[in-house]
């Protein structure tokens, strides 16, 4: 029963994360930012309020929660196989290859795919999964501190001739945006093949996402090892303490991000330092959200019922994530409807996509054990074996 509860709350968290992802993507018009100009003051206010609120809650946190749960899921699978006397690592490597294929297909539709990055960075779990928990925590802590960005800061501080590499994000996203605003499907497909995956990976690299994702994978694995998602008195106390610490850390960090330009004029120092501090702030608030959801899920009747509605949605996270790309691409890209809307309407579109997907997930999971793409992924993972 305890293991079932642990997986249920993880699925609820995963559903919350995927909901946040679709809302963020819709507010970004799936990376096109093609908004209709608004003259009405009330609509301007609504746009600002919705944009600020959604990004405050989900921006940089939903994907992080998704990454943390990826590491947690790896622990569940690896631990289950260890109990049967099997070594899951090579099979997981094959599973990552399959995920990379999913990601590459997704990048033909959407310019912000993360699955291929997860597949590559997921190799880090194979490398550290037999290390002690203490060693994994040390490695994860070093990574979450953003060592590559600190290297840029210190290089700029102590080397007067230091010049960072020129950003390549625009090189990839400029042609993507141009074609996705005006091109047909074949033109869009061509530019997606050339620039989509490279643009996404370049942006992630330049914004410190690679070490952060690896760290979150490892933290998720440790959460599984320590039974941190299980309800007991000790964990409850840790959740409450963790929420307090996370909030105390978050607000000064976010304030510091906004203050830095007033005191640092050297962009070679300012830019990586902002990446560092903002990533810390996002991890702090993501931690607060996870702990809050754990307390609500376990400690309140109405909250538990509400969050339980996300469990089927979270169980079908791969299916829902990939289908979001198809729906979003069709709505916002020129090969589909090419819709240009206000931020408020984009938000409502995101809510509609979530509600339709969540309803479908409930219908599907009442009839089947796995989501459509989850089933294919599982079958392909264990191809060539009888035991699954």
Task: Judge whether residue 35 has pLDDT over 80.
Answer: yes
Burial class of 387 by CB neighbour count within 10 A (0 to 12, 13 to 18, 19+):
exposed
Nearest-angstrom CA–CA distance, 110 and 256: 33
- Average pLDDT, integer, range 102-116: 95
27-52 core/surface letters (b: 16 or more CB in 10 A; e: else):
bbbbbbebbeebeeeeeeebbeebbe
Residue 1 pLDDT level (bands cut at 50, 70, 90): very low
169-207 core/surface letters (b: 16 or more CB in 10 A; e: else):
beebbebbbebbbebeeeebbebbeebbbbbbbbbbebb
- Average pLDDT, integer, range 29-45: 91
Q: Which bin fits 38, alpha (ψ -120 to 50), beta or left (φ > 0)?
A: beta
Q: Which stretches of 122-208 are DSSP H helices?
A: 123-128, 133-144, 147-158, 169-182, 185-191, 197-206
Q: CB of 20 within 8 A of CB of 57?
A: yes
Place of tokens 């330049």: 206
Three-state SS sequence of 51-72:
HHHHHHHHCCCHHHHHHHHHHH
- Average pLDDT, integer, range 179-202: 95
- Return the ∠ at Cα 149 (arms to 144 and 153), rounded to 5°: 135
User: What's phi and psi for 341, nearest 5 deg?
Assistant: -135, 175
Closest Cα partner for 117 from 127, 130, 106, 109?
A: 106
Question: How does pLDDT run across 257-278, given as a tens digit for each residue?
Answer: 989 999 999 999 999 999 999 9
- Average pLDDT, integer, range 275-302: 96
Residue 7 pLDDT level (bands cut at 50, 70, 90): confident
Nearest-angstrom CA–CA distance, 124 and 138: 14
CB-based contacts of 57, cutoff 8 Å, min separation 6: 20, 289
Task: Judge whether residue 211 has pLDDT over 60.
Answer: yes
Nearest-angstrom CA–CA distance, 135 and 120: 21
- Average pLDDT, integer, range 41-60: 94
pTM above 0.75, yes or no: yes
Nearest-angstrom CA–CA distance, 81 and 135: 22
Q: Residue 39 has what pLDDT?
A: 85
Could you tell me what percentage of the chain is helix, strand and coil, using 3-state DSSP and rounding each to the nearest 5?
80, 0, 20
Question: How does pLDDT run across 212-237, given as a tens digit for each residue?
Answer: 999 999 999 999 999 999 999 999 99
- Average pLDDT, integer, range 110-126: 96
Q: What is the DSSP string of 95-120?
A: HHHHHHHHHHHHTTT-TT--HHHHHH
Task: Judge whether residue 3 has pLDDT over 80.
Answer: no
């Amino acid at each position: 029963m305890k293991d079932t509860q642990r997986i249920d709350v993880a699925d609820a968290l995963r559903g919350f994360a995927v909901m946040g992802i679709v809302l963020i993507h819709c507010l970004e018009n799936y990376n096109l930012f093609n908004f209709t100009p608004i003259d009405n003051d009330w609509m301007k206010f609504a746009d600002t309020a919705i944009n600020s609120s959604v990004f405050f809650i989900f921006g940089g946190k939903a994907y992080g929660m998704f990454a943390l749960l990826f590491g947690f899921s790896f622990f569940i699978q690896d631990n289950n196989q260890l109990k049967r006397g099997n070594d899951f690592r090579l099979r997981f490597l094959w599973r990552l290859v399959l995920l990379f294929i999913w990601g590459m297909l997704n990048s033909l539709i959407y310019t912000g795919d993360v699955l291929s990055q997860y597949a590559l960075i997921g190799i880090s779990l194979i490398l550290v999964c037999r290390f002690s928990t203490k060693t994994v925590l040390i490695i994860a802590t070093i990574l979450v501190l953003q060592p590559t960005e600190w290297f840029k800061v210190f290089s700029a501080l102590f080397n007067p001739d230091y010049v960072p590499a020129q950003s390549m994000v625009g090189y990839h996203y400029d042609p993507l945006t141009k074609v996705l605003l005006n091109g047909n499907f074949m033109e869009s497909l061509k530019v997606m093949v050339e620039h989509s995956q490279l643009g996404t990976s370049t942006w992630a690299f330049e914004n410190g996402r690679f070490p952060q994702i690896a760290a979150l994978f490892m933290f998720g694995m440790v959460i599984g090892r320590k039974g941190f998602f299980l309800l007991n008195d000790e964990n409850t106390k840790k959740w409450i303490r963790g929420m307090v610490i996370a909030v105390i850390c978050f607000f000064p960090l976010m304030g510091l991000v906004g203050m830095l330009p007033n005191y640092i004029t050297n962009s070679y120092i300012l830019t990586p330092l902002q990446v560092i501090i903002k990533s810390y702030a996002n991890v702090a608030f993501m931690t607060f959200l996870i702990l809050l959801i754990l307390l609500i899920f376990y400690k309140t009747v109405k909250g538990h019922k509400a969050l339980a509605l996300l469990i089927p949605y979270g169980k079908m996270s791969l299916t829902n994530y990939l289908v979001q790309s198809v729906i979003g691409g069709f709505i916002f890209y020129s090969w589909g409807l090419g819709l240009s809307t206000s931020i408020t309407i984009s938000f409502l579109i995101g809510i509609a996509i979530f509600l339709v997907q969540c309803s479908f997930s409930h219908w599907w999971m009442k009839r089947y054990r796995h989501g459509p793409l989850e089933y294919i992924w599982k079958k392909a993972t264990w191809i060539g074996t009888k035991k699954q």
